[in-house]
Structure 1
Amino acid sequence: MNTRLSAVLFALLALVAAPAQAAPPPQAEREIEQLIAALARSGCQFQRNGSWYDAGQAQAHLRKKYAYLRKRDMVASAEQFIERAGSESSMSGRAYQIRCGTAAALPSANWLRARLNEIRGKPAAKPAAAPPPR
């Protein structure tokens, strides 16, 4: 077999063997986009690695992390996006925080999960009721 034909066959085999980059399911893509957009519109501040950023900077950061995860086929649901991109720094491991107005800061994962429940039309989780007195 000549060298040129061998090179073409090798290239074709490499293409066939390369893993496909599957996009998340359409519902997951919509929900993730809605989460990022909700953060951008929120006016809240986003803390990562000890510094506070405005909602626009937070959106840009989460979009970069989402693109990284998509490229590696590492996100198939909004829950995975929250866990893998929206919860903590992949560099330091420190949890992200969100602070809205004068309210106390809370873990970004909690804020994002609450927004996801709103997107899905689910009521917010209520604290467990105290057991009835004996």
Structure 2
Amino acid sequence: MRLWLARVYVLLAICSAVPARAAESLEQTIGFLLHRIETADATFIRNGQTHTPQEAVAHVRAKYEHFKGQVKTPEDFIRLAATKSLLTGQPYLVRTRDGKEMPLNT
């Protein structure tokens, strides 16, 4: 009986660690994506206004904090916090060094 109970405790410990690892992995992925925005050699355009990478990442971080309870995957993060304006629905754009503009949701 004790062996069976010990196995149950081990199984519970393993199962409870899986969501923690998944959450850690999600946070690492989001951190990586935010770092890519912050260090991009580009101009970000939101609702017709240009922003530096540092301004863009600050805005996306704030949106992420707002939607954090709904973000379960990197795709959720991208969809909810990093592709379009909540106010206007306009897609966020990025302008590369050569002047090419493209939406972030492609």
Q: Given the alignment of the two structures, is residue 109 of structure 1 paired with residue 99 of structure 2, yes or no?
A: no
Deviation at 1:103, TM superposition (A): 4.3
Taking structure 2 as the reference length, the TM-score comes to 0.75
Q: 1:49 aligns to what? A: 47
Taking structure 1 as the reference length, the TM-score comes to 0.60
**Structure that is richer in helix per residue:** 2
- Residue 67 of structure 1 aligns with an amino acid whose one-letter code is E
Deviation at 1:28, TM superposition (A): 1.2
Higher Cα Rg, which structure: 1
**How far apart are the structure 2 equivalents of 1:53 and 1:82?**
18
Unaligned runs of 5+ in 1: 1-22, 111-134
Q: 1:18 aligns to what? A: none
**Contact preservation (8 Å) 1:46, 1:99:** yes
Kindly tell me the number of residue pairs found equivalent between the two proteins: 87
Q: Secondary structure at the match of 1:47?
A: strand
- Counting aligned pairs with the same residue, the percent is 28
Unaligned runs of 5+ in 2: 1-19
**Contact preservation (8 Å) 1:96, 1:107:** yes
Q: 1:90 aligns to what? A: 86
Deviations, residues 4-52 of structure 1 (Å, cap 9, x unaligned): xxxxxxxxxxxxxxxxxxx972111111111011111112111111111
**How far apart are the structure 2 equivalents of 1:92 and 1:98?**
17
Q: 1:30 aligns to what? A: 28
Q: Following superposition, which runs of at least 4 residues in structure 1 exceed 2 angstroms of deviation?
A: none
